[in-house]
Chains A and B, each alone.
Chain A
Amino acid sequence: MIASLAWRNIWRQPTRTALSLTGMAFASMLLVFMLSFQFGSYDSMKANILRIIDGFGQVQPPGYKDDPEITKVIRDPSGLIAELESLPQVTTASARANGYVLLANGERSFAAAVAGVDPVKEVRITRIASLIKQGRPLRADDDAAIVLGEALARNLRLKVGDRVTLLGTAMDGSVAADVLKVVGIFRTGITEIDRQIAHMPLDRFRETFVMDGAVNEVAIIGRDLRDIINAEPRLRAIAARHDAVYLNWGQLQPAVKQAITLDMTTASLMYGTLVIVVVFIILNTLYMSVLERTREFGVLLAVGMKPGQIGRMVWMEIIFLSLVGTGIGIVLGMGLAWYFGRVGVTFEGMQQIFSQWGLPPRIYPRMTPFRVLAGPSAIILLIAIAGIIPYRRVLGLEPVKAMNA
């Protein structure tokens, strides 16, 4: 009956309660939607950026990330690839070799990062093939072929069908030179990539750079980035067995990780402020309600209710109110996130900036239990903690003084 009494007490002032509920519901709705939207945009950003070049994770020789010397290699990647692909979370593992070269066309020459890739597997890892604007992607039967970024092609005044000269240092220290036919030109929208990156068939690369079957990295992909994140301990163990190291997405794209962390920190301050403001508004309302009922609490003490029981009843009122308010907010927030998760959200005029960060022009909120429950849970938790203030006031009541209040 104390729970029933607490519930009925909430509705003594229906307008005041409705206003409190509206405030809480609105804040919760905002938190559910914004967290789903924000994390949804991070998901898109990570997936898009990682699917342009890196993949969701990579296995590399130790130290290769910081000092990408062509001599740092995984000598026989076939066993490593087989083990990686045996994990249920990994859909494809693809070997690559990388070289920093000079690409020349006539009198024009530019530095570029050329990757030797497996044309069949790479299409499952990176989006380069789908970003080809002229010509075609690499094919399994290609040999002396190359696809390169739009800005790089423009700088070298190359078009599809032209030949480009490659000059670099082979693994044995000799000069690596080749002449390759431009079969495709891609545009990612990310300036650094479009100006520097080129792909050629892995076998031809290894031949040109005298790599004797070795590779510099194995990139992996899964159905979802979170699958790969969850499989990280096993991926690390596999890499270690092959005298290599596993690099997760954050290590591959530290700038993106830092940008997300910074954005999340700023947003957290805003969310935190919102939660605290809501909690104080609700607390003020509840404290007023407790003050108004001092006389009644005195009567309850007189008839034998213990101060702690009255305090718990008041606390129950607080919890009921916050559960109803945040419950309504969760439902509304989920509805909003579901709707925009289907149609997406566009920001007119922001596409250029978005593309630099690998974001698509339309962003889709994505709900997870954490994104839906984190904000409302914070409200409930803080209100429950703040409820100690009216609780302590009730504990201090003396029946006679309270009845004369």
Chain B
Amino acid sequence: MMTEPIVSCRGVNKIFGSGELQVHALRDVDLDIMPGDFATLAGPSGSGKTTLLNMVGALDTPTSGEVVIDGQSLRGMGKSELSDLRLNKVGFVFQAYNLVPVLSARENIEFVLELHGMPSAERRDRAREILREVGLEGLENRRPAQLSGGQQQRVAVARALVARPSIVLADEPTANLDSKTTEELVQLMYRLNREFGTTFVIGTHDPRVMEHSKRHIELLDGRIASDERS
């Protein structure tokens, strides 16, 4: 039996601006992300990595072509439906961590679960459990400003994973981290992929991340230049 892709892009184009200022960020991209993929998306600056991640994560919609996430096409979806889709299917890890500064580590995670309508006690237990999984036990009540960059990024990973999304997208997650913390974070994501089968697509040009990649997608001028599995 054929396994269905989690994300499927067909003939995706994305054009920003108009007239002489028009930028063709993605050109006829065809891409399938399969369950359990631990894929890196690489390419020089301006190659379209972030734009493609935004399409795959339903943060943006294509100018033409179609993106289907877990069987749902983004075509014609309103803002609220896209929000629902992101909440239920996608987890995000950002370069700048992007945690809510006034919430503690645990609350940042619980917040996502609350959006899912999970009861308070269950939320709390689930948040503690995931924080333990990412090695932040004992730091639950610290606010982002009281955590190191690596710790904040672990919280961000935990936040992305807590609702058990179909896919986790990470855009340059190690760009602000030192080597040791980068290694720890990559090992963490790799372990989560191995143990729980979580699908990761990581936009990066960090060789330390690419080393662990099972699939390497190279973008150049908005086109997929190569797509290799190891």
Interface residues of A (CB under 8 A from B): 1-2, 5, 8-9, 11-12, 296, 299-309, 398-400, 403
Contacts and interface: CB of A to CB of B under 8 A. Distances in A.
A305 B115 contact: yes
A304 B112 CA distance: 8
A304 B110 CA distance: 13
Contacts of B102: 5, 8-9, 11-12
Nearest to A8: B102
B138 to A, nearest CB: 22
A399 B110 contact: no
B107 A301 contact: no
Nearest to A401: B60
Nearest to B83: A306
A5 B103 contact: yes
The A interface is mostly helix, strand or loop, or mixed, namely helix
A304 B87 contact: yes
Nearest to A2: B114
A306 B82 CA distance: 9
B96 to A, nearest CB: 9
Interface string B80-111: 10011011101010100010111100010011
Given A12-B101, A302-B92, A302-B94, 12 more contacts: A1-B114, A5-B102, A296-B100, A300-B100, A301-B83, A301-B86, A303-B92, A304-B83, A304-B87, A304-B90, A307-B80, A403-B94
Nearest to B116: A304
B79 interface: yes
A282 B86 CA distance: 34
Interface size class of B (residues with CB under 8 A): 20 to 34
A307 B80 CA distance: 7
A296 B103 CA distance: 13
Contact of B86 (A5, A304, A309): A304
Contacts of A304: 83-84, 86-88, 90, 112, 115
Nearest to B85: A304
Contact of A303 (B54, B60, B107, B112): B112
A403 B172 CA distance: 15
B103 A8 contact: yes
B69 to A, nearest CB: 13
Interface centre among B59, B88, B112 (most CB of A within 10 A): B59
B159 A303 contact: yes
Nearest to A310: B83
B57 interface: yes
Contacts of A398: 60, 79
Contact of A302 (B86, B88, B111): B86
